[in-house]
Structure 1
Amino acid sequence: MKNTASFAAYKKSPNRSIKHSTYFETYDELFGRYRGKPITFVEIGVLGGGSLFMWREFFGEQARIIGIDLNPNAKKWEKDGFEIFIGSQSDEAFWQEVKQAVGPMDVVLDDGGHTYEQQIVTTEMLLDNIKDGGMLVVEDTHTSYMPGFGPKKYSFMRYVAQIMDRMHYRFSKISGPTDNRVWSVQVFESIVAFHINRDASNRVSAVTDNGGAHDNAVDFRHADNSAYGRLSRVYRESDALKKIPGVRPLALFVKDILSRAKGSGRVSRFFR
């Protein structure tokens, strides 16, 4: 922690800021590449203003540092060269106004109220406004496991899991609701980062072949002698069977049942 650039900037801030000790390595990992560059950085939740000075020190004078807070008192930091917007992060109309005024953002750090509604509405409203190569970072995500921040059914981490599911549905052989806004999700203790790369996240998934020499190696995924393995081999090796209408979905259905029976006893102990 103490050897990180973000912690040094944190300690140098002339105003009070409160950060968890585990966050600084994560800050350096996520934000290090933006240092010394003319980025637009938005922090939600500026409280006593200390973090605004921290981020100016960390990113450098070229960075445009913007603060979002519900407390009108935060407007006083404009005299120090920061842009400040006052409003609720759970208010979609407020975010429309901010996006109109600020334009595309490189990095957003949500350190606001930490309720599920606030975190989810903020993410939904800002993902499309993040520049390519940028990110939206939500911290204090441990509130998803604490009482008092909203109904657990709609916790932020459940929302993150849904986005990850929809990212995987982009795979060409899976059908389901997709989400192309996010290229990757990076999870740290109490911090989630959504990375934006629109070309990559909208690319069609297709099998490629590098054209190299082929030694006709046997695919050993189906080599075991279980009922699942035997069924997989029969279907894979029978061209006639594949031509029968309705056989493929039936085979997949049976394989799914057998694979559950085969694997549940071995892996169930890891789901506690």
Structure 2
Amino acid sequence: MGGEAVQTDITTEHIERLITAAGSHGVTGAIKELGVARTGSIVIDELVFRCEPPRNRHAVPVRIDLVHGTEKAVHVLRLADGEPVTSSEEAPEDACVRLEFDLAELVTLVYGVPRERSAGVHRSELLLAAWPRLTAAYGISDHELMGSVQRAVDSVLGGLSHRRPSLNELAVRYGSDKWSVIHWFTPHYDRHLRDLRNEPVRVLEIGIGGYAEADSGGESLQMWKRYFPRGLVLGVDIVEKHGLDAARLRTVRGDQSDRAFLASIAEQHGPFDVIIDDGSHVNEHVLATFDALFPHLRSGGFYVVEDLWTAYCPGFGGDDENLDNPGTSLGLLKGIIDRIHHEERDGADPDHVARNTVGLHVYHNIAFIQKGVNAEGRIPAWIPRSSDEINPR
């Protein structure tokens, strides 16, 4: 699968600048502002991440030339079956194939609204001078090397394809437990989030996984980064996870039961389009997190609560006897049904949730709370409030 290219002075703000420019025909100005070298590093890093899993048995160096006017940035991608794709800016003498892109066109292709890829996006050239060295090193024929080159190039260009891998496929690719064996969440996620997929969204997921291992976990964060090609992904965990940080993906250490911490996250990184609570699953924490973060969800976005089964587990603060206990995650959701219908209840005093929740979708162990303006108006007074008024006896 795709790896990560080395970056130096690149920030999230630089990436956001390109995402915004690619969606508004302002790419040339963004390249002028950021410079060809930095822009090239950003877009190559994204291409490396999106490359389809290599299927070439023998490692193939692919030279990428990014041209902008009279300037050029050169990178070399190395692809081999079962290994992460890597990128470098070192001398490309050993590259056996060259792909040339107009830099502005590639930025638009990578960060703009996806479109059908037509002919003429790139130029290609076999760099035959490197072939004898590679065939001798691998002990293979030119024909066998050609097969590896074809597969390597296909992996690179597959990262630019308009075809978007399904969320099920991405969950398996990156090892997320949101699909298969334990949970079956990804079809529900795709049903509700697919309209946001091509937007420059901000995604917050609480709970990174990997437990106490500093560089472990983050499988779902990688999945979301690939699912939302123009999105920024933020992961929060009680354990330090900065080793997982990459372009368009950041991690923050903190306790989800700490409201002051959550407020700081919202101030620094919000507002969000998608918020996912896959954290401690302690019911008290679920309620506190929702109360703190729902106001920082954009209209049209979704707040997602996973692992609702803990609402029945006393060990997680759940209750398996009083199913209407408002102190559980399911109690919260049941109460939201009434809050959605606040206009139909005399004397109701709507809070932020009541005024801004337009939908609640509950499935086995996962719920989606849809944010929007909940002000359709009350059923008119002239409509009977009693069945006796409709069918008098």
Give the corresponding residue for 2:282: 115
Q: SS state of the match for residue 175, structure 1?
A: coil
Equivalent residue for 2:375, pick from 170, 177, 202: 202
User: In structure 2, what residue type is equivalent to 1:104?
Assistant: P
**Matches for 1:61-140 after TM superposition, within 5 Å:** 62-72=230-240, 74-79=241-246, 81-140=248-307
Q: Does 1:175 align with 2:350?
A: no
Give the corresponding residue for 1:184: 359
Give the corresponding residue for 1:166: 339
Q: CA deviation at 1:77?
A: 1.3
Q: SS state of the match for residue 171, structure 2?
A: helix
Equivalent residue for 1:51, pick from 200, 220, 223: 220
Give the corresponding residue for 1:257: none
User: In structure 2, what residue type is equivalent to 1:17?
Assistant: S
Is the 8 Å Cα contact of residues 357 and 369 (structure 2) preserved in structure 1?
Answer: yes
Q: 1:181 to 1:223 in 2, by over 3 A?
A: closer
Q: 1:12 to 1:83 in 2, by over 3 A?
A: same
Give the corresponding residue for 1:258: none
Q: CA deviation at 1:191?
A: 0.8
Inter-partner Cα distance in structure 2 for 1:181 and 1:36: 24
Inter-partner Cα distance in structure 1 for 2:389 and 2:246: 70
Give the corresponding residue for 1:32: 194
Q: CA deviation at 1:67?
A: 0.6
Contiguous gaps of at least 5 residues in structure 2: 1-164, 210-216, 320-324
Q: CA deviation at 1:170?
A: 2.0
Is the 8 Å Cα contact of residues 202 and 233 (structure 2) preserved in structure 1?
Answer: yes
Is the 8 Å Cα contact of residues 38 and 63 (structure 1) preserved in structure 2?
Answer: yes
Inter-partner Cα distance in structure 2 for 1:145 and 1:118: 15
User: In structure 2, what residue type is equivalent to 1:71?
Assistant: V
Q: SS state of the match for residue 38, structure 1?
A: coil
Inter-partner Cα distance in structure 2 for 1:6 and 1:46: 18
Tell me the TM-score normalized by structure 2. Answer: 0.49
Q: CA deviation at 1:76?
A: 1.1
Could you say which structure has the higher strand fraction? 2
Is the 8 Å Cα contact of residues 66 and 84 (structure 1) preserved in structure 2?
Answer: yes
Question: Which of 115-124 and 21-30 deviates more?
Answer: 21-30
Is the 8 Å Cα contact of residues 169 and 176 (structure 1) preserved in structure 2?
Answer: yes
Give the corresponding residue for 2:166: 5
Is the 8 Å Cα contact of residues 166 and 177 (structure 1) preserved in structure 2?
Answer: no
4+ runs deviating over 6 angstroms = none
User: In structure 1, what residue type is equivalent to 2:167?
Assistant: S
Q: CA deviation at 1:146?
A: 2.3
User: In structure 1, what residue type is equivalent to 2:314?
Assistant: P
Question: Which of 157-166 and 176-185 deviates more?
Answer: 176-185
User: In structure 2, what residue type is equivalent to 1:66?
Assistant: L
Q: SS state of the match for residue 194, structure 2?
A: helix
Q: CA deviation at 1:208?
A: 9.4
Is the 8 Å Cα contact of residues 303 and 369 (structure 2) preserved in structure 1?
Answer: yes
Q: 1:66 to 1:189 in 2, by over 3 A?
A: same
User: In structure 2, what residue type is equivalent to 1:43?
Assistant: E
Q: SS state of the match for residue 180, structure 1?
A: helix
User: In structure 2, what residue type is equivalent to 1:29?
Assistant: R
Give the corresponding residue for 2:308: 141
Task: Calculate percent identity across the aligned residue pairs.
Answer: 26
Give the corresponding residue for 1:18: 177
Q: CA deviation at 1:21?
A: 3.7
CA deviation vs aligned residue, 1:112-138 (integer Å, no higher than 9, x gap): 111111111111111111111111011
Give the corresponding residue for 1:222: 388
Tell me the TM-score normalized by structure 1. Answer: 0.70
Could you say which structure has the higher helix fraction? 1
Q: SS state of the match for residue 170, structure 1?
A: helix
User: In structure 2, what residue type is equivalent to 1:36?
Assistant: N
Is the 8 Å Cα contact of residues 283 and 317 (structure 2) preserved in structure 1?
Answer: yes
Is the 8 Å Cα contact of residues 41 and 108 (structure 1) preserved in structure 2?
Answer: yes
